[in-house]
Structures are given as structure tokens and as C-alpha cells.
A and B are shown apart, each in its own frame.
Chain A
Amino acid sequence: MSYYDIDDILADSTKVPCKFNCSVPGLGYLEGNAGHPIKKDSKAELPLWLARILAIIGAETVENEEEELPFVELMVPDLFSSRVLNAIKSSPTSLDVHSLSAHFYELAIKWATLFSDRRLVNVLNTMMIERAQEVNNHALSIPADSAPALQSGTFLLTLDEFEKRIFRDSHTSYKDMKSWMLRK
């Protein structure tokens, strides 16, 4: 998660649904109609790097409320809806993470940091461990010098970018180890 991390930049550009808490003139292009003001309570899909800042910084202090009201309110994206969380809980290994989002874990980390969501973290921890075992099995079982077998192909298609990196690293190290042991 550093400044020049390309995966981090890609993850940050994922759109999340937001609701505006106030009307802002001139920002209509966020909704697709440039030149018009954006209305209060209207919904827009903003990239996470924008939405994250707007959800923190307050627009105006409402008189009878002490807390500052931020520009936008983040709504729970489909990615972390209870439907997905239930699917994760029931069977982490058969879930197609890649179709949910290519950068699922990175988004989840950002989301959980933003909201201090303990429940989400717990679910993801279990998911991560379960899937890591599967990733390890696949990285280990593939023969050193041929293409991946078919049945593992279906699982590998469900990996997100982070898991792919883990898989690639562990697979390379297993493969190098094997070729070193065999042919020296």
C-alpha cells in the first residue's frame, strides 16, 4: 500500500455508491450532466480515492448538530453486502472473488479501516486463511515443467490480484526447489 504501488492505484479507482448530503453547484459532471449543480440526496458512483476524502471532510456545520456533516455519505457497496458476506461465511474456497472485484482484499482493507468494521475483518480473516490453504495446495501440486492441470485452473480463475501474487510467488519457489532437487 505505498504511493507508487500500481495495484493500490487500481484498487483506489473502484467506484463506490455515495449519497450527497448537500447541494454543490458546478459538480454536475460527477453525475454525468456537466454544468448543472449536484442536488442534495442524489446518488452518484464515485471512485474510492475521491469518495474517501469527501466522506471525511465536513461541508458545513449544521447549526443544531454538533458533528460536522461530510459532503457525501458512503453506502455499502455490493462488494460488502450481507449477501456476499454470507457467501464467504458458507464456503470461502468456492467463492469467485475475482468476479466480485479484482482487488477484493485491498478494497476490504480500505473499507475496514474507514469504518473500523470488526465484523468484516473477522469474516475476511477466516476467508483468507481458508483460501490460503487452497492456494498452497495448488501451488504445490502442479508439476514442475508443464502447464497447470485443468481442475486447478477453475480455482485459479477465482483468485483476486493479491492471491494471484501469493500463488505465483509460492508456485515459483516450489518449482525452483523441485528443479534444484532433481537436476541440481
Chain B
Amino acid sequence: MDIDIDDILAELDRDTTAVDQTLTSQGNDTTVVGSDAVGDLVAKQQAAAAQTAAPPSPVQDFNDLLVAWRNERMCPEILAYPHLLMARTLRRVQQQMEHIECVSMGFYEDETRDAASAVANKLPLLCMEADLERLKFVVRSYIRCRLSKVDKFSLYLRQLDTQQPVPLTELLSSKELEYHERHFTILLKLLNSTILKHMPPELQAIDDNEGSVPMVEGPDLASFVFVRVTGPDLGRSAPDTDPTLEINDEGVRFYPVYIQELREEVELTVDGIYVMRYNVVQELVQARKAILI
């Protein structure tokens, strides 16, 4: 007889007794095939879920930043600005810079006394500097990418109503809002003084959507993106709690999505890579169940 004790081991590993595991402790005798993987995964997910209560670690934050960066670069629309994440990241950059400063100060004193140990101590400093540069590069590239989108959708952003699901203050950071406002003013001034003042009054609007060609260009939500389905929230919550996740005949977990134009249903299996129209996977990306690549 095959007794599966993975869940018991996992519970010991977790070293918590408070949470009652009715979920995995029943019916394990019947599900022999594949129960290893499932049990393991559940344990991992719940351990991760326990972590979310604690303040997010720098490593986790960096991974989140990478995801946000990649999504932003590939996504046709401008995504919501991660206010908390960026605030934490920028604070850490500041702290780390000061830290490096302090460490190199200590160096000067060392060098006068013992040259050999100073050379040996240089490696951590180099690593810290290189790592900081890497982080700063990502942040810079991320912000630049967002600014180019703000440029592109300047008129569209102005027309976004307050009834939008995401208000403009959530969508952009305060600096980006300022940039958007002032850049638009400058652009308007240029257009007005060069061309528009010579036009008849009814043709002077630069956000006229009534004419033969709409002047306000919104993001092309129907463009194709490469998407990788990662599962619920990058493994932070248990898969059983996700109502949209379904399991097909072969036991593979997938999200059903519906393509409006073709009237076709598609199964996006977890860990699969697809080329999809962005508006089809938009909700999955925003809920962090899938990432763009």
C-alpha cells in the first residue's frame, strides 16, 4: 500500500501548526498519480502566501520590477504605475548609494594601515556598485519607456474620463503627470503659433474626432503580443482559490479566454507561451496571471 506523506512532511517543513490542512489531508490515497507534484505545489504556494504578510523583500521587489518593466515595454497601452513598488525601490537605491559611500570611506582608513586586506575587501564593493548600476538601468529604462508612451498617447490621456476604472493619478506617477501636462502645453503652443492660428476656427481643434480621420490616437489594444501564462499571481496565492482557473481532460490547468471577433474560445494552459491579441489577455496581464515577453 502506498501511503503518501508529502503533505505531512510539507507541514513539518513549514513549521506552523496554526493552519489546518483539511484540503490536502483527505483523499490522497485515491490520487496516487501526480499527487507529489500537486502536494508540493500547494505547500509552496501556501508558504509564499504566508510570506506576503511580511514586508516584501528586496529580491521580490526586484523581480516585480523586472516583470513590470517587461510588461511595459511590450504592452501597447500604458500600464498602471506601481506607486508602492517604485517608492520602495527608489528609497533602496538611495540607501545603497549612501552605504557604498560609507564603505569606501572606511577604505581610505584601511589603506593607510594594511594594503593587502584593502585589496581583498574591494570585491564586495565592486559587486555592490555593479548591482546598483543594474538596478538603476532597469528603473531608467522603465521610466523612459513610460514617458515615450505618455508622449504618444498625450491626447488620449487627456480625454480619459474620471469614470475610467483607473484614474489618471493611479495610472501615472506625479512626475509623469507633470511631464504630461507641461509637454502637452508646449506642443500645443508650437502647433498653435505655427499652423493652427491660420486655420478657420472650426478646424483649430487638435482633438477632433468628428472629422474623416480621428485625431486622437488611443492605444491599439488589438495588436499582437507574446504572452507567457504564469498561473495565479506568480505563485503567491493558492491555485485553488482562483475561480477563473480550470482543469481540462488531460489534467492541465488553463484559463479560458474568449476571442470576440472570431467567436472562439481558447485555453491558455499554465506555463504556455502564446501569441495573442492584447485585449484578449489584458485582464490576465493586469491580474498578474500572465506576463508579456
Enumerate chain A interface residues (CB-CB to B < 8 A): 2-4, 49, 52-53
Most buried by A among B213, B214, B215, B217: B213
Write out the residue numbers on chain B whose beta carbons fall within 8 Å of the beta carbon of A4: 217
Write out the residue numbers on chain B whose beta carbons fall within 8 Å of the beta carbon of A53: 212
Q: How many A-B residue pairs have CB under 8 A?
A: 10
Chain B residue nearest in CB terms to A56 = B212
Chain A residue nearest in CB terms to B208 = A3
* Pair A3/B214 contact, Cβ less than 8 Å: yes
* Pair B212/A3 contact, Cβ less than 8 Å: no
- B119 CB, min distance to chain A CBs, angstroms: 29
Complex: A4 Cα to B195 Cα, angstroms = 15
Write out the residue numbers on chain A whose beta carbons fall within 8 Å of the beta carbon of B215: 3
Most buried by B among A3, A52, A53: A3
Residues of B202-217 whose CB lies within 8 A of A:
212-217
- B224 CB, min distance to chain A CBs, angstroms: 13
Complex: A160 Cα to B6 Cα, angstroms = 62
Interface residues on B, range: under 10
Complex: A2 Cα to B209 Cα, angstroms = 12
Q: What per-residue 1/0 map shows which CB atoms of B212-245 lie under 8 Å from chain A?
A: 1111110000000000000000000000000000
Write out the residue numbers on chain A whose beta carbons fall within 8 Å of the beta carbon of B217: 2-4
Chain B residue nearest in CB terms to A52 = B212
Write out the residue numbers on chain A whose beta carbons fall within 8 Å of the beta carbon of B212: 49, 52-53
Chain A residue nearest in CB terms to B217 = A2
* Pairs A-B, 7 closest by C-beta atoms: A2-B217, A3-B215, A3-B213, A53-B212, A3-B217, A49-B212, A3-B214
Complex: A49 Cα to B213 Cα, angstroms = 9
- B163 CB, min distance to chain A CBs, angstroms: 25
Complex: A93 Cα to B213 Cα, angstroms = 33
Write out the residue numbers on chain B whose beta carbons fall within 8 Å of the beta carbon of A2: 217
- Known pairs A3-B217, A49-B212, A53-B212; list 7 more (Cβ under 8 Å): A2-B217, A3-B213, A3-B214, A3-B215, A3-B216, A4-B217, A52-B212
Complex: A53 Cα to B211 Cα, angstroms = 10
Chain A residue nearest in CB terms to B206 = A3
Write out the residue numbers on chain B whose beta carbons fall within 8 Å of the beta carbon of A52: 212
Write out the residue numbers on chain B whose beta carbons fall within 8 Å of the beta carbon of A3: 213-217
Complex: A3 Cα to B215 Cα, angstroms = 5
- A105 CB, min distance to chain B CBs, angstroms: 16
Write out the residue numbers on chain A whose beta carbons fall within 8 Å of the beta carbon of B213: 3
Write out the residue numbers on chain A whose beta carbons fall within 8 Å of the beta carbon of B214: 3
Q: What per-residue 1/0 map shows which CB atoms of B51-94 lie under 8 Å from chain A?
A: 00000000000000000000000000000000000000000000
Complex: A4 Cα to B212 Cα, angstroms = 13
- 10 A–B pairs (Cβ distance < 8 Å), ordered by A: A2-B217, A3-B213, A3-B214, A3-B215, A3-B216, A3-B217, A4-B217, A49-B212, A52-B212, A53-B212
